Structure 1
Amino acid sequence: MDEKYIKDKLEASIPETTAEVSGDGTHFDAVIVSSAFEGKSTLERHKMVYSVLEDDMVEDIHALSVKTFSPRESNRR
C-alpha cells in the first residue's frame, strides 16, 4: 500500500477533495480538505474517509491518522 493509492482513492471518492498522505506502507497520516466536509462534525467527516478506505483497512492499512478540513478551515490553519 502506498500514499499515492490512498490519495487517489480519497480524491476520486469524496467530491472536491485534495489529500496529502504520508506513511510507511502500513501506517499513514492524511490531511484531507474537502468542500464535502462543510457543516459536518469531525465524526461525520472521519466516517466519510473511513468508508472510502474500509476494504483496505482489513489487511493493508494498519493505522490511519486523519485530519479533515473544509476549504475555509484550511485557509485558517
Structure 2
Amino acid sequence: MAMNADEIERRIKVALPDAVVTIKDLAGDGDHYSALVMSEAFRGKSRLQQHQMVYAALKGSMGGELHALALQTVTPDSAPTTAH
C-alpha cells in the first residue's frame, strides 16, 4: 500500500516539530514524491545528516510503502522564497 502525502508530512513533523514540509506527487500515482523540508534542526548538519534525519522520520518506509522521494532539506535562512 502506498503512503499518501499527508502521512509523509505527519511523520516528518513528529520527528521535526518545527518543520515546514511541502510535498508534491510527481507522477500522480501516490508513490513518487518530492519533498522540501525546512527545519532549524538542520542547522550545522551536513546535507547527508539532514537527509538521514528525514529518512529516520519515515521509519523504514522508503522502498516499501514509499517508492521514491526526491528530497530537499534547508534551514529557514537558506530556504527558497517559495518555501516561506
TM-score, shorter chain, exceeding 0.5 = yes
Equivalent residue number for residue 4 of structure 1: 6
Which range moved further: 33-42 or 11-20? 11-20
Taking the aligned partners of 2:81 and 2:33, their CA distance within structure 1 comes to: 24
Q: Which amino acid aligns with 1:31?
A: L
More strand as a share of residues:
1
> Unpaired runs of 5+ in structure 1?
none
1:6-57 per-position Cα deviation (integer Å, ceiling 9, x unaligned): 0111112113111011123111100000000011110000000111113322
More helix as a share of residues:
1
C-alpha RMSD over aligned residues: 1.7
Q: Which amino acid aligns with 2:37?
A: I
> Unpaired runs of 5+ in structure 2?
none
Q: Percent identity?
A: 32
Q: What SS class does the counterpart of residue 45 from structure 2 fall into?
A: coil
Equivalent residue number for residue 18 of structure 1: 20
CA contact (8 A) 2:14 2:57 kept: no
Cα distance, 1:75–1:21 mapped onto 2, change above 3 Å: closer
TM-score by length of 2: 0.81
